[in-house]
Structure formats: C-alpha cells, structure tokens
Amino acid sequence: MASLHRTVTRRAVLAAGALMALSAGLGGCGGSSAAPQGDPSDGSSPNISPDIAEVTDGPVQPGPSSTPTRPERTLAAMTLEQKVAQLFCVTPEQLTGASVATVSGPMTADALARIPVGGLVYFSHNIVGDRQLCDMLSDADRLSRASGAGVGAFLSVDEEGGPLVARVANSGLFDVPTFPNMSEIGATGDASRAAEVGSTIGGYLADIGFNLDFAPDADVLTNPDNPVIGPRSFGSEPQLVAQMVAAQVEAMLAVGVAPCVKHFPGHGDTMGDSHTGAVYTERSRDEIEACEFEPYRAAIEAGVPMVMVGHIETPNFAADGLPASLSPIMMGDVLRGELGFDGIIISDSFSMGAITQRFTPDEAAVQFFAAGGDMLLMPADLTLAYNGALEAIGGGVLTEARIDESVMRILNVKDDLGLLP
C-alpha cells in the first residue's frame, strides 16, 4: 500500500500551500482557555506533517536481503491476541463499559491491557469542553502506546463539515470555521472549495489530537428522497462528486490527518436506513460502475488510505444476499480487484440494525474478516466479537496469515501517522 506521504499529489501540495493560512491559528488545544477537566497527560498526539514526494507507481517490495520496515518489525513482534485487537475500532464506552466517557483514565488503561484495540471513535456526547477533549485524546494516545505492542490507536471522529455531521465544529466549544452542507460546496463546481474544507477540518482535528476523520462522504445522490445522505453528498453528478472527493482527500493528507471515504459501494440511491434494518440499491451493475464507483476511483487515485464499506445489498450486482460489509464479492472482487484498493477496508458500524438483526457479534466479525475486511467499526459487543475472531483462527475458519494481511495494512497507515513504536 502506498504511504500517506507518497500518495499526496502535486495538486494536493499546491492546494495545501494556498490554504494553509486558513487552518493556521485555529482554536484547538494550544489556545484553549477553559479549565482542565482531568489530570493533564505527559503524552501527546503529534501534529503530523508528512514528507511530500511525487506519486510512485506503487510501493517498493522488500527483497530477501532488505531490512524489514517498521511495520514489518512491529508485526513480527506482536502476539496473535494483539494482532486481532488491532482489527477493532470502538467507542470508549464499548471499550471500558462506562455509560459516558469524557476522560481516558484508569478504566481505559485496564481495558486496553485486556484488548488493545486499533482505534477509538468519539461522538458528540464525549465532547464537553475544549481542554477536556484535548486531554482525553492525549491520554488515549499515551495509554494506547503503553498497551499491547506499543502501537498508537487511531483516534477518529465523524467530521464531514456542515450542520449535520460535524461533532467538533457543531459542539460550539472550539473556535473553528464552520461550513455549509457539502451539497452547497459541490454546487459551486469549484474543487478548491472542497480542498479548503479538507485542509481546514484536517488542520483543526490534528491540532486537537485526532488522526483519522471518517470523511469525506463519497456518495452520489442519485435518489433525492434519500433519508440518510441528502445534503451530506457533494451532488448527483458522479464526475463532480469525484472531483470534490479527490480534492478533499488530498488536502487532508497534506495536513497529516487520514481521511476515510464512505459508504462503499454507494448510499446515494438507497431509501432505507441501515441504522434500523437492511438497505438495498436496485441499480444495475453497469449503473453502479458508471456512477457510484467514480468517486471511489478518484479517491483511490488521490491516495485515500481507508474506505468505509456500508451495509448495502446489491441484488442486481453482487446478488449474494449480503450487505457489502459482509460480501467477499464487493470487498474482494470489486473494491480490491476491480478498483485496485490496497488500503484499509473498514466497516460501517456493526451496531446497526442491518447487522444486529441477522448476526450475532461474533458471527458478524468472523464473516467480515473472512470476506476480506480489515477493521471492524463498533461491534455490538467487543468482547464477543474479539473472542469470536480468536476462536475462528483456532478452529481454522480464519488463518493467522489472513489476519496478518489486515494488520499490515493498518500498521502501514499508522506508520505514516507516527503511531508505531
């Protein structure tokens, strides 16, 4: 997989240079005036500024006598339990059992000692103060590096921009720019506006302590009555959405925050809500390939390190009766094979009804990894899902070699973010 710094294109460098002033001086942890809500941490999440290089044709594979890379050395030192733990991204409440988590303290340390998860995702209820959020993330970074194999966690958030999905900007606790809905950004037809969104949001997230953003939304809004995506999409024209998504991906990479495009294979045509049940798109294979896939092709070309797969069934494409998030056809044959994506495939939340109504947490986890997924987001029960994956390896349903493939993809991205020991 090409690294973050290798996949930043010349256009991203130019966009970042033009827009860097917009993200400089944003109200983050450094400028907070609120009183701390907890003990400060000695650790911190560095504001990564990746080295910029021209795009290569692909990663250089080490020869027999090559010195192992840092991700390879890290993987070789990990136990099976530590590897499997890296495959999960959960809320702090799922990790610790707390009703609402606003600090990363002893409960977090104890939980990470048991299951040193690969990522944590935060929502609006976790944000109650500017200094509080900075301290919670800084402490989570320190504690994750002190657990397991010493690998730092993805510290993630849904920050798409606009009034609908922007946990930080809409909290009112940070002096950061706000944006209109992405549909308004797309309506300008100016990709530099999307780059401005990516550079600005990526800049203030990095300043606060996040290193992964579940954005941009790559859905093409082909159904104007869609109840889930709506104005979160850049628009209904695939080429326009592709340009906007690529520009935002490149801008976020340039400021050192990993973007994650969503929701593959495309949520813009659906009528249902996967939070509550199964969701379908009736579009044909030709329609999906010509329309929904265009933003993903552009994002992959721009170097996106992570793609979120949705719980979307495609009866006229994969026709396997499975949501894409459990489909070896959609993840393996299409996303990996046809589109050539070799980064991290992460699921949408496995706490959603589209999954929980049909599968137990352990069944869903095993099926996701067997189908080619790399990182499982928010299982309904972390312990059951984690133990289920371990038991599947012991029983031969999954192999350690299969797990190693996913962990290596995760470690490669984390290496670029400065999260490896």
List the catalytic residues. 275, 348
Amino acid, single-letter form, for residue 159: E
* Beta pairing partners, 347: 309
Name 383's Cβ contacts closer than 8 Å, sequence gap at least 6. 115
**Gap between the Cα atoms of 389 and 394, Å rounded:** 9
Give the single-character DSSP code of 227.
Answer: S
- Angle, helix 130-145 to helix 106-114, in steps of 10 degrees: 30
How is residue 219 written in tokens? 């859905």
Give the Å distances, CA to CA, from 325 to 90, 294, 347, 354: 17, 19, 6, 10
Name 362's Cβ contacts closer than 8 Å, sequence gap at least 6. 384, 385, 387, 388, 389, 391
CA-based nearest residue to 41, from 122, 123, 105, 111: 105
HSE on the CB side for 249, CA within 13 Å? 29
Give the single-character DSSP code of 289.
Answer: I
- CB of 216 closer than 8 Å to CB of 295: no
